[in-house]
Each structure stands twice: as structure tokens, then as C-alpha cells.
Amino acid sequence: MFAEWPLLTLVMWTPLVGAVLVALVGDAFPQGARRLALACAVLTLAWCIPLVVHFDPHSAALQFVEQVVWIAPLGIHYALGVDGISLPLIVLTSLINVLVIIAAWEAVKQQVAHYLAAFLALAGLMNGVFAAQDAILFYVLFEAMLIPMFLIIGIWGGPNRIYATLKFFLYTFLGSVLMLIALIYLYTQAGSFALTDLHAVPLGMTAQILIFLAFFGAFAVKIPMWPVHTWLPDAHVEAPTGGSVVLAAIMLKIGGYGFLRFSLPITPDAAAALDWLMITFSLVAIVYIGFVALAQQDMKKLIAYSSIAHMGFVTLGTFIIFMIYYGSHSAALPTALDSSAPLPQGAVLALSGAMVQMISHGLISAALFFCVGALYSRLHSRQINDYGGVVQTMPWFAALFVLFAMANAGLPGTSGFVGELLVILASFKAHPLIAVLAATTLILGAAYSLWLIKRVVFGPIVAPRVAELHDLSAREAWVLGLLAALVLLLGLWPAPLLHMMHTTLEHLLAHVAVSKLL
């Protein structure tokens, strides 16, 4: 019965309306605000069930499409729809939103209602970003999303929050303004803002390169790619726990999503011509940032840098496809596919790996930031040196923290392994040396993740305050336990997720493998 409902509007607007209601309840009734916020978040997640159940994974077409004219003279529509790329991200967003609201139950003391309202609004906007099928709608939501995050860091953040928020806002805003220019140019060419029309419009090489760079400005900052990544560690350090969780788990993925939804299909020739640059940046992110993470003393900074390195796999998987198909010399794309000679294996692996890495990192980074939050709420320190021997006072916490660190290091059986494996396999096909550099994450990831564990969890108790810690509360245990279960489930049986996006990715690859030049 739900299949006929406007499910995408519901996943987008339930939290947005909820945000207004929660703000209206206000800080005078914190308990009421919490319950209402949780109800809205759970309802949003509940809408995802029929979405997943009725989603047809064998179709590459957009599903659950809704379209209403929004600004008629400019041909702007309120157009929503999902395919195998966006649906998993919507489910992830809705899920993380519930966890963030549960985790904030006791941890947030000031202005609870506004805090929760900001997160609900954020979730609604992000769900909208993933569902939007109109470029302007996407752009508006993409920009609007910055506002609640700006407030979350600016109001509930740490001592240096003003510098961090400004850096975060300016960095990401600058990038997205470039994207707006590109979208307007595309409108002049295609006469429409519908994404499917933009995907189809032929473009000259110069135009493609410029548009590609404009998109790069928006999405590379968001994901973030080296060398435009330095806003992320600062934002994470200053953000409250929930802010860090959403930032790492969802907002970064919007960058990866943008590359898949905009850069690849709209400017395939430019992407093929500049793939060497993107691959280089990705490998720098994996290797260089891996070393930088090793040197961190602040737990949140360490996880933030680890996020950048993990996102390197997303961009590597996304842009390696041309090398797999057409060799290493940024060759021009063919004007039509030769059906007699099938394209070589590997590209689907690469894109699947990038997608799985996004979902998996959403779970693992959320869990790691929740873990740091659990420690921070007890000792009010993020410095690794203030800890040591935590396992003796918090054994259950320690077990889960070790699990998530292992997942972060890509241990098989956890979700962290799946994406890295697929991308490493695929990149070997492109060039063995790329795979060698990518595979250094096995060593570096283990080194920074487990060294963190060694210094925080194991060893003798040095700080007297650690001796007085108490283990996870029931609420914290539920949040981390659920994430642990999902990390293991996805690691032990990723087939359903792969199945959900397989057709969409093949369709995307077939589109991208052919030139769009005029």
C-alpha cells in the first residue's frame, strides 16, 4: 500500500516539519522535545522501509518519482526520485539521525530543543539532497544544509568554534558558488534543470573541463579531497559529538554522491581527461593523510584525518574507471560502445567499492565519533595522552571501540574491508602501482587505528581519573551495539547492498563510457 505514497517527500519533510515542531516545544520542556524529536526521526526511518521493500533493483530508472512545477518561468521543478546510488544514502542518513538524537538524550544540556531541531532539519535537507532530481532543488538544499551545521558547530561547539565555522562555511560555500555558475550554464545549453536532461546534453571539451572544475570545487571540498581538506579536522575538533557524527557519516558522502551524480554523467569526457589528476589526489589522500593521521594527538583529529584517507578510496574508485576501460593515457572516449568487444572487468567493481566505502564509512566513522564522545562526556578531554587503560574500567566500551578501530583498519568481516577490497582489486587492473599505493592503507590504517587503541584502551592506568570511569550507559550501549551489528552484517554479507545498486552503477558506467562531445 505504501508504494503509492509520496515516500520521498515524507522522508524529506517529516524531519523538517518535526524540526519546526520541536523548536516550538522549546527548551522549556526538554523531555517533550526529546521524545518528539525521536518520534520524528524514527518515523523518517520507518518511511525508508517501504522505500527499500518496493525498490526494484533490476531497474536503472528513477523510482518513486515525484514532480511538481516549482518556479515555472525557469522550468524549475520540485522533482524527487531515487536509484540504487541514492537510496542507500537516504537510509543511512535516516538511521544516523535516529542514533544522533538518542545519543544526545543526556549528553546535551543546553538548548536541547534547538539542538535536536537543528539535527532534524539537517537530516531532512540531506535526504532531500540525495533525492533531488532537479539541479536547482539540489543546489538549494545543498546550500541550506550548511546552515544547521553552521549553527550546530557555532553554538554547541568547542572553544575555537568561530574560526572552525567560518573556515567550514567559506570553504564549502566558495565551492558551491562555482557549481551554481556551472548549473546556470548547463541550463542555457539544455534548456532544463532536470538532471536527466543535463546528463544527456552534449557539451564541448572546454565547457566540460570548466564545468568539471566547478563541480570539483563543490564536491572535492565536501568529501574532502586533498588538498582542500583542512577545514575538516578543525570542524570536527570543534563540533559537538552529534555534529561530528553527521559531518563524517553523511555530509562527506554528499561529495562522493555529487561526483557520481553530476561530474561523471554530465562531463564524462572531462572526467576521462582529468582522471590522472583525480587519481593522484586520491592516492595522496590515502598515503599522505595516512601518515598525517599517525602523528595526531587529538582523537577527533585522528579520526578526521582517517576519514579523509578513507574518502580517498571513494574518489579513487570513482575516477579509476576510465583507466580500466581505456588504458593509462587519458584517452578520448569513443563515440559509441563496440558491442562486439565487451569492456574489461573492473570498472563495476571500482564504482561498487566506492559506494560501499561510503556506506561503510558512514557507519564506522559515526561509531568512532560516538566512542570519542562517550569518553569526552566523562573526562572532557580528547587528548590521547590523558587516557590509557580504559579497558579496565570500561570493558564493554573497550570491546566495541576495538571492533570499530579494526573495522576502520579494514578487517575482513567488517564493512570497512568490503569497499577497500573492491577498489584495490579494481585499481590493480588499471595499474599495479596504483594498487600498491592504495593497499598501503592496510598498513597505515592499522597503524593509526590500533596505535590509538593501544594508547587509549590498553596499558596500565596512569591518569587517576581513568580509574573512576564507569562503563557505557544503556543508551550508549544501544547506539554502539546497533552500529556494531550493522558493521558486522555489512562485512559478512554485503550482497544485498551490492544487489541494490548494481543495475544503477552498470547503467551509469554505460553512460560514462561514451563521449558526450558535440
Partner 1 sequence: MDGVYLSIVLAPLVGALVAGLWGRQIGRRGAQSVTILGVGIAFGLSVWVFWAHVFGGAPVYNETVYTWLVSDGIRFEIGFLVDNLTALMMLVVTFVSLMVHIYTIGYMRDDPGYQRFFSYISLFTFAMLMLVMANNFLQLFFGWEAVGLVSYLLIGFWHQRPSAVHANLKAFIVNRVGDFGFILGIAALVLYTGTLDYAATFAQVEGLREAQVPLWAGYETSLLTLACILLFIGAMGKSAQVPLHVWLPDSMEGPTPISALIHAATMVTAGIFMVARLSPLFEASPTTLSVILIIGALSAFFMGLLGLVQHDIKRVVAFSTLSQLGYMTVALGASAYAAGLFHLMTHAFFKALLFLAAGSVIIAMHHEQDMRRMGGLWRVMPITYVTALIGALALIGFPGMSGFFSKDAIIEAVALSTLPGAGFAYVLILAGVFVTALYTFRMIFMVFHQPPGTRSTSSADDHHAQLASHDHTHDHHHAQPELRTPDAERVLRAPSHTPHESPPVVTIPLILLAIPSVLAGLVVGPLLFGDFFDGVLTVDPARDVLAQLGESYSGIGGFILHGLMMPPVWLALSGVALAWLLYLHRPHWPGVIAARLRWVQAVLLRQYGFDAFNAKVLAGGSVALGRLLWRVGDRTVIDGWLVNGSARSIGALAQRIRRLQSGYLYHYAFAMILGLLIFGLMLW
Characterise 459 by phi-psi region: left (phi > 0), alpha (psi -120 to 50), beta (else): left
Q: Supply the minimum distance, in Å, between the C-beta of residue 397 and partner 1.
A: 14
User: Interface with partner 1 includes 507 (CB under 8 A)?
Assistant: no
Report the site for partner 1 in 288-307 (rule: CB under 8 A). Answer: 288, 291-296
Peptide bond into 227 cis (omega under 30): yes
Between residues 266 and 422, which has the closer beta carbon with respect to partner 1? 422
Judged by CB under 8 A, the residue of 105, 119, 171, 212 near partner 1 is: 171
Between residues 109 and 499, which has the closer beta carbon with respect to partner 1? 499
Report the site for partner 1 in 448-487 (rule: CB under 8 A). Answer: 450-451, 454, 457-461
C-alpha 200/C-alpha 85 separation (Å) is 18
Between residues 59 and 230, which has the closer beta carbon with respect to partner 1? 230
- Residue pair 351/317 in contact (Cβ under 8 Å)? The answer is yes
- Residue pair 202/228 in contact (Cβ under 8 Å)? The answer is no
User: Interface with partner 1 includes 493 (CB under 8 A)?
Assistant: yes
Surface-to-core class of residue 62, CB atoms within 10 Å of its CB (0-12 exposed, 13-18 middle, 19+ buried) = middle
User: Interface with partner 1 includes 345 (CB under 8 A)?
Assistant: yes
Of 26-34, 45-53, 99-107, 493-501, the segment contacting partner 1 by CB under 8 A is 493-501
Q: Supply the minimum distance, in Å, between the C-beta of residue 390 and partner 1.
A: 10
Q: Supply the minimum distance, in Å, between the C-beta of residue 219 and partner 1.
A: 18
Q: How many residues bind partner 1 (CB under 8 A)?
A: 62
Residue 342 per-residue DSSP state: P
- Residue pair 80/66 in contact (Cβ under 8 Å)? The answer is yes
User: Interface with partner 1 includes 104 (CB under 8 A)?
Assistant: no
- Residue pair 502/323 in contact (Cβ under 8 Å)? The answer is no
Report the site for partner 1 in 230-259 (rule: CB under 8 A). Answer: 230-231
Hey, which residues does 298 pair with through a beta bridge? 383
- Side-chain half-sphere exposure of 112, counting CA atoms within 13 A: 22
Binding track over 413-452 against partner 1, x by CB under 8 A: x----x--xx-xxxxxx-xxx-xx--xx-xx--xx--xx-
Three-state SS at 68:
strand
* H or E element, residue 79: strand 76-82
C-alpha 506/C-alpha 85 separation (Å) is 11
User: Interface with partner 1 includes 500 (CB under 8 A)?
Assistant: no
- Residue pair 388/466 in contact (Cβ under 8 Å)? The answer is yes
C-alpha 436/C-alpha 95 separation (Å) is 35
Report the site for partner 1 in 189-228 (rule: CB under 8 A). Answer: 227
C-alpha 52/C-alpha 67 separation (Å) is 20
User: Interface with partner 1 includes 77 (CB under 8 A)?
Assistant: no
C-alpha 12/C-alpha 16 separation (Å) is 7
Q: Supply the minimum distance, in Å, between the C-beta of residue 255 and partner 1.
A: 18
Between residues 194 and 406, which has the closer beta carbon with respect to partner 1? 406
* H or E element, residue 167: helix 161-190
C-alpha 374/C-alpha 401 separation (Å) is 11
Between residues 440 and 473, which has the closer beta carbon with respect to partner 1? 440
Hey, which residues does 76 pair with through a beta bridge? 71
Between residues 372 and 391, which has the closer beta carbon with respect to partner 1? 391
Helix H, strand E, coil C: the string for 354-387 is HHHHHHHHHHHHHHHHHHHHHHHHHHCCCEHHHC
User: Interface with partner 1 includes 60 (CB under 8 A)?
Assistant: no
Binding track over 350-389 against partner 1, x by CB under 8 A: --x------------------------------------x
Q: Say how many Å lie between the first and final Cα of the chain, rounded.
A: 45
C-alpha 223/C-alpha 73 separation (Å) is 34
Of 49-57, 59-67, 85-93, 341-349, the segment contacting partner 1 by CB under 8 A is 341-349
Of 154-162, 215-223, 469-477, 489-497, the segment contacting partner 1 by CB under 8 A is 489-497
User: Interface with partner 1 includes 494 (CB under 8 A)?
Assistant: yes
Between residues 21 and 489, which has the closer beta carbon with respect to partner 1? 489
Between residues 69 and 467, which has the closer beta carbon with respect to partner 1? 467
Q: Which residues bind partner 1 (CB under 8 A)?
A: 167, 170-171, 227, 230-231, 288, 291-296, 345-349, 352, 389, 391-392, 406, 409, 411-413, 418, 421-422, 424-429, 431-433, 435-436, 439-440, 442-443, 446-447, 450-451, 454, 457-461, 492-495, 498-499, 502
